[in-house]
Structures are given as structure tokens and as C-alpha cells.
Structure 1
Amino acid sequence: MPMQTAKLSDPAVRAFVSALNAHDEEAFRAALAPGATMADDGSDRDLADWTAREIFDSHGHMEIEKETAEGRALVASYRNDTWGEMRTRWTFDVADGKVTRFETGQA
């Protein structure tokens, strides 16, 4: 059974996932620290381009299976209109209540 977003342990990660699932670009940007970075399958990507393509333009959605590392590592079923559904892992670096970096890839 998927984990409720509201029950995610880390407030910054909870804000990130909530904004992603609500397709709220403003709240999503607010969850990220200035200059935040990201990687997909081990390769650094342009954060604005990647999030537009993989999340907002393609209706991305995360269903959390489990969290570890005090809420900063997730396994989720991720789906979007481009790729369909896949099991993914997400890790987050957080400072001052904002996500400074996230990494994702197939789990």
C-alpha cells in the first residue's frame, strides 16, 4: 500500500513530493534551494529542463512505496505521460529546509 505524502518524515521532501503530485510549479520551485541541482540515472541534468519535461509537461506523479535515511531516500512508483510507470529511487540533499539536490533513477 502506498505511503501517504503527508506522512513523509522530512518536511522539505514532503513539500517536494506534494508540489510534484499537485503539478504546482510555484510550490515545487519553493521547495528547492537556490541553485539546486539534480541527476537522473547518474547523469547531471539541467533542473529546469528536466522538471518541465519529466514532471510538469508530462503529468508526473509519485506513489511512495517506502522511505529510508530519515525521509531523504524514497522508493516510488513514478509515472508520466512520456514513459508510463516505473519503479524509481529518489535521494535528497536538504539544507535550511530546502532541497539542494535530488537524484533519481530506476530502482
Structure 2
Amino acid sequence: MTIPTDRLSDPAVRALVTAINAHDRAAFDAALTAGATMSDDGSDRNLTQWAEKEIFSSRGHLDVESESDGGLSLIARYRNDTWGEMLTAWRFDVTDGRVSRFETGQA
């Protein structure tokens, strides 16, 4: 059973996941701090390039199955047109109400 995006506990994480699922680049950027960083499967990536490839040009989508750590850690089914669907883990750092870093990878 998935958790509806609008029921995610942390407002910054909720805003970012909502933007991802809507493919809304402006909302995605607004949910992040200036200079936000990320990693995928343990390797730091260029966030802008990664988001274009993994979210926007490939129609990425998150279905959150569980959350922990006050909503800063998620287990979600992530799918896009490039890789299909996989079970993923996400960990978020939030600064001043926006996501300053996220780490994702296969769960």
C-alpha cells in the first residue's frame, strides 16, 4: 500500500516528491536549496543533469511505500521510461524548509 504524496510527513520532502511526480521542474527547483547536492547508489552526481535524465526526460515517478525518521527516509517504488520500476531508498537533508541533499539508490 502506498502513502499518498499529500500525506508525507515532512513538508520539504512532500514538496519535492510532488514536483517529481508532476514533472514540474520549477517546483522541483523551488523545493531545493541553492547548491543542493545528491547521490545515486553511493556516487555523488550533478543534480541538474541527473534530474533531467532520471526524472524529467524519462517521466520519473515515486510511489512511496513507507517513511521513517520523521519523513526524511523513504522506501519507494521508482519508475521511469529508462529503467522501468525498482524498489528504492531515499534519504533527505532539509535546511530552512527546503531539501539541501538527497541520497537515493536501490533498496
TM-score range, shorter chain: over 0.9
User: What does 1:56-71 align with in structure 2 at a 5 Å threshold?
Assistant: 56-71=56-71
Cα deviation per residue 1:33-54 (whole Å; 9 max; x = unaligned)?
Answer: 0000000000000000000000
Report the RMSD for the aligned CA atoms in angstroms: 0.3
What's 2:74 paired with? 74
Q: Which amino acid aligns with 2:79?
A: R
Mapping of 1:23-102 within 5 angstroms? 23-102=23-102
Name the CA distance, whole Å, in 1 between partners of 2:67 and 2:5: 11
Unmatched tracts of structure 2, length 5 or more: none
Shift of 1:68: 0.3
- TM-score with structure 1 length normalisation? 0.99
Matched length:
107
Kindly state the Cα deviation for residue 27 of structure 1 after the two structures are TM-superposed.
0.2
Partner of 1:2: 2
Quote the offset at 1:69 in angstroms. Answer: 0.4
**Runs of 4+ in structure 1 displaced over 3 angstroms?**
none
Tell me how far apart the structure 2 counterparts of residues 4 and 47 of structure 1 sit (CA, whole Å): 25
Runs of 5+ in structure 1 lacking a partner?
none
